[in-house]
Amino acid sequence: MKHGLIQAVETCLAFARDLTERHPKRITAVVAALLVGGTGATFAVANLAPDAADLPVRTVVESIPLQLVLPETTLSALPATPLYRSELTRSTDTADSLLKRLGVFDPAAAAFLRTNSQVQQVLLGRAGRNVTVEVDGQQSLLSLTARWSPMDDGTFKRLSIRKQGTDFTAQLETLPLVASTRLGGGVIQTSLFAATDDARLPDAIAVQLAEIFSGDIDFHRALRKGDRFSVVYETLEGDGEPLRSGRVLSAEFVNAGKAHQAMWFREPTAAEASKGGYYTLDGDSLRRAFLASPMEFSRVSSGFKMRFHPILQKWRAHLGVDYAAATGTPVRTVGDGVVDFAGVQNGFGNVVMVKHRNNQTTVYAHLSRIAVKKGQAVSQGQNIGAVGSTGWATGPHLHFEFRVNGVHHDPLTIARQSESIPVTASAKPLFDKAAAQVRAQLSAAAQVSLASAE
């Protein structure tokens, strides 16, 4: 009996081997069907088919016709999608040139722009307006919107031109600007403006940076390759479009390895309610008795360097500082004082001398014009004249001197040593809380600066 059972099993196995060799796919399919079918049995599954690598490979190529069913709709019947384009206006713009640059080909729209009084007054020939147009598939004008912020009063103007049937309408509105906060940073390679251009920061922010740290850094003379900066600033927007730069809220500038930090803070007391200023993160005011430079930092003046004196054939730095700049560049007094002399002197040409306290005097020479008179009181940053080439000068530049008891001193050293006013004791807790937030912001902005350097 036992022997017969063994023989029967061996016969079944032989049959299975034969069936597997002849129909491996069918065997696999049957086993899979049993597993999926839920027969209630338990299986120990093994691969009954031979190794796929050992099977012969046969490629079958069969052509299958494709039938592409298109909807019974032509492209011309599809709804047109409006297109939008934006440009900044130019002072030379006419109705036709502006529309052409915006890709609008619409004689009726051009005629409306030429004849509408509001368009003539506020758009055509006015540079710097942000203009967006909406056109249809035939490049005809559907709408035109112009936005600009003419004054620093927290508002912007919006001119809206809309197509109504076959005619156009125009509406001029005054709306509030919305402030948003942005981070930026960069590394000096050649100049501050080149670095801010690379970082896509507005010129107004670069100028503010130079003004904020003007008591510590002479941006005309003291910048070094590898200096870096981080800045947190406001952008003022109209309808989500950036229209003007706001205030720098906080900044860090590393010059010659030394870090200078600043934050904007307004005293909460009634007496200081309308004032605000920049402070170090320790609470010391950055407004000092003297500025480091008698010229406001600008894109025009930033590219000039101190030059060899062409007449005296020697460097003039030991007698003061020479700032080469274009004729007409504004000159400002570096500190409060009284005009001691305003006129012409041999060598200096047109010159202004301002007397400050503690026997300190500043000299501004080779001016093309003088804007003050002897005996006039002047305040820090006030315009007193313009760069020129009068006196012993063969090219336009400003000769600046800082004298203490008649002895010449380095203006930057004097500016750094001048006193500053700290935050009041009552405002210090609020200031410290704000400074902690500023440190976190500057840390984030510093990452932007490092990323731009890589």
Q: What is the mean pLDDT of each run of 10 residues along the chain (454 residues)?
A: 48 48 43 38 37 53 56 52 88 94 95 95 92 93 95 92 94 96 92 90 92 85 90 94 93 94 84 72 89 76 45 50 87 95 94 95 96 96 95 87 90 79 87 93 78 60
User: Both 258 and 221 in a single domain?
Assistant: yes
User: Both 207 and 351 in a single domain?
Assistant: no
Residue 155 included in any domain: yes
Distance CA 56, CA 71 (A): 45
Q: Decide which of 176, 192, 211 is a domain's last residue.
A: 176
User: Both 225 and 325 in a single domain?
Assistant: no
**Which neighbouring-strand residues pair with 262?**
251
Domain that holds residue 404: 301-417
CATH code: domain of residue 348: 2.70.70.10
Cβ atoms of 370 and 350 within 8 Å: the answer is yes
User: Both 139 and 282 in a single domain?
Assistant: no
User: Both 161 and 128 in a single domain?
Assistant: yes
Q: Decide which of 176, 211, 245 is a domain's last residue.
A: 176
Instruction: Tell me which residue has tokens 């060899």.
Output: 308
| End-to-end C-alpha distance for the chain, whole angstroms | 87
User: Both 220 and 245 in a single domain?
Assistant: yes
Residue 269's pLDDT is what?
65
Residue 25 included in any domain: no
Nearest one of 186, 134, 139 to 160, comparing CA atoms? 134
Cβ atoms of 367 and 353 within 8 Å: the answer is no
Q: Decide which of 137, 158, 176 is a domain's last residue.
A: 176
Residue 187 included in any domain: yes
Residue 37 included in any domain: no
CATH code: domain of residue 99: 3.10.450.350
188-228 pLDDT, tens digit per residue, is 998 899 999 999 999 999 999 998 998 888 887 788 999 99
Residue 74 included in any domain: no
Residue 272 included in any domain: yes
User: Both 251 and 312 in a single domain?
Assistant: no
Residue 291's pLDDT is what?
85
User: Both 413 and 426 in a single domain?
Assistant: no
For 17, list phi and psi in degrees, rounded to 5: -60, -45
**Domains of the chain: total:** 3
User: Both 157 and 134 in a single domain?
Assistant: yes
Residue 8 included in any domain: no
Distance CA 368, CA 397 (A): 10
Q: What is the pTM of this model?
A: 0.64
Distance CA 448, CA 257 (A): 19
Residue 19's pLDDT is what?
43
Residue 23's pLDDT is what?
45
